[in-house]
Structure 1
Amino acid sequence: MPWYRSFRYYQNQPGLTTLTEIEVEHLVELAKNRREDALWVIPLLWNIALWIVVMVPVIWLALMMQRAGMPGTAWTVSAPGAKVIVALAACVMIVVSAEFWIWIRRLLIMRSIQFLINKATCPVCDFDLHGLRVADDAMVRCPECGEVILLKEHGLTRRDLSLEEAFIPPLPVSPLWHMDDGANARKEGKAPDRQASRTTEKPAQAAKGRSPASSGN
């Protein structure tokens, strides 16, 4: 299903609009590896709860409608009619369950991507913790929900919460970017300066071209 595996949904999310499809695909794969079995266990549990909440009342109402009122009244539903009601509700629930499954799965992946890009967030409400004052015992309190966060338990440091030196995990680069200047730039965290490389090559070529003339003199 191409529409199910499309990364366009993630590319349109805040914070990912400037990334290429290859970078987004890499982040999605990292998020899937981080979640592992939770990507199908959690949606399955939510769908089971949804079916119980919706279908149990529908079946109960269908059974009650067969017994309610006197035969021949508008409130009486025959047994085949009750089965039709339950069958229609089940068909609607199948479609809703599929959409619900995809929505929960994408939500879990997006939460993991946000953690990979910026782990300095509250584990309860995802509030950005950058710029907050860290107490002497290496803890910080979320101003949004009041959660007390111990930096060591969540793999954070004071530097992660600093606005000037916040650590952001490096994003993946295109596999086609394999030139030497690209590799050096990736180590330094900046794009390769190809214009500079061309300007340095021109004097060298010019000097090489003048060398025969100088030797002739």
Structure 2
Amino acid sequence: MQQLEDMNELDRLYLFEDVPEEDLKAHLESLPEDERVALLALIPEEIRCNMGYPSDQQNAFLEVSERFDKLWPKLEDFGGFSGRYGQKYKDWLEAYCPEEFWELVFKKELGAVCRAKNEEVANFIDDTVKALLVKNPAPDQNTHFLEHVGHMNALKAQAEEMAEPLMFGGCQRGELGIPKLERPVATRGRGKNMFFNGTQEDWEDCGKPDAIIPF
């Protein structure tokens, strides 16, 4: 178990992909409950879902919905569009912090939290661009218009990259690891999460709001 805990997500995925599903199921069923739960937490979500176990999103959704005594969220509970950077933060919350995401959904606070994050990030980017301009002034806008636009776009892109830790839990996007979106929940009518590996149609097919049990 300790060896598994010391592995990163990708290494565990490669390891379990080589284990026959029947053997892994049999081993899990032979374990005491506490050991089975501990091992399941270390098995990559894709492998667990293929064996019939709930996804991380499903587990988080069930736990929070039971706590708030609600079966299914309304579309407005997701807070609508929260700005360019607020949407990225919202997607990150759902993909990497599903318990916090669903709690905010059922408390009807997700939109406000993400709009506040959008403002925070936008202000950071504006301030960063100003600071970068001091060190690297832009060409004159009147005499070198295209060069000026290109320079400003490059500075903004640099500032947006520097702002990623504000949106992604202190990490750059490339450091985030595997998202917990193997089987998302309540997706009908919502734009596809940026971390979801599939089309908008695939995304919406994951959520069935007319079902008594959500998955």
TM-score range, shorter chain: under 0.3
| TM-score (normalised: structure 2) | 0.25
Relative contact order: is structure 1 or structure 2 higher (C-alpha 8 Å, sep ≥ 6)? 2
The structure with the largest alpha-carbon Rg is 1
